[in-house]
Amino acid sequence: MPPKSPETRTAVLFVCLGNICRSPLAEAVFAHLVRERGLEDRFEIDSAGTGAWHVGERADRRSMAVAARHGVSMEGRARRVEPSDFGRFDLIVAMDRENLRDLERMADGHPRRPKTRLLREWDSEDGDEVPDPYYGGPEGFERVYAMVRRSCEALLDHLVAPEG
Ligand code: 4NP
């Protein structure tokens, strides 16, 4: 079968505060699952931060380490959410409620409003936020990985379901 045309792709943006710990991990895990299922032609996937402190940096080494332990590679550099993202993406997936509030403010006045959701809306286990692991130890990154992995699996199921 020929690949789907770009018009039928779903564009998903994962967002956290710094774009060095959680959202690049979610981007990498989601892209990994999409590749595993051979669905690359159906998705555009990216991540960004609401803050600008780490723009241009590689992901935090602790996020890269936890990803590598699970066979997931992380590439790319941090960038900030920009106004054009609201026109470009179909779904914006935030890690915590502060990200959601900041996104709401940044989208203010933009003519197009993509759907904005918390990643853990798709988590099969209880909890609504992916906590910021930046100031904690490595076990925090493993916990974040587990939440991100469960949620991304279910999010992908949702997006490829006939009614999704
Ligand atoms: P992230 O984690 O939002 O998951 O990328 C953070 C990284 C850096 C900072 C905050 C959160 N910071 O304040 O520098």
Return the pLDDT at 88. 97
Return the pLDDT at 3. 57
Pocket lining for ligand 1, CB < 6 angstroms? 16-22, 53, 132, 134
Among candidate residues 85, 96, 123, 132, the one labeled active-site is: 132
Q: Ligand 1 centre and the CA of 52: distance in Å? A: 10
Instruction: Give me the residue label for tokens 């892209």.
Output: 31
Closest CA to 116 of 125, 127, 124, 105: 105
List the domain boundaries for the chain: 6-160
Give CATH for domain 6-160. 3.40.50.2300
Return the pLDDT at 135. 95
Residue nearest atom 9 in ligand 1 by C-alpha distance:
18
Give tens-digit pLDDT for 74-93.
999 999 999 999 999 999 99
Q: Is position 42 annotated as part of the catalytic site?
A: no
Q: Is position 21 annotated as part of the catalytic site?
A: no
Spell out, as residue ranges, where the chain has pLDDT lower than 70.
Answer: 1-7, 164
Return the pLDDT at 6. 55
Return the pLDDT at 8. 86
Return the pLDDT at 4. 53
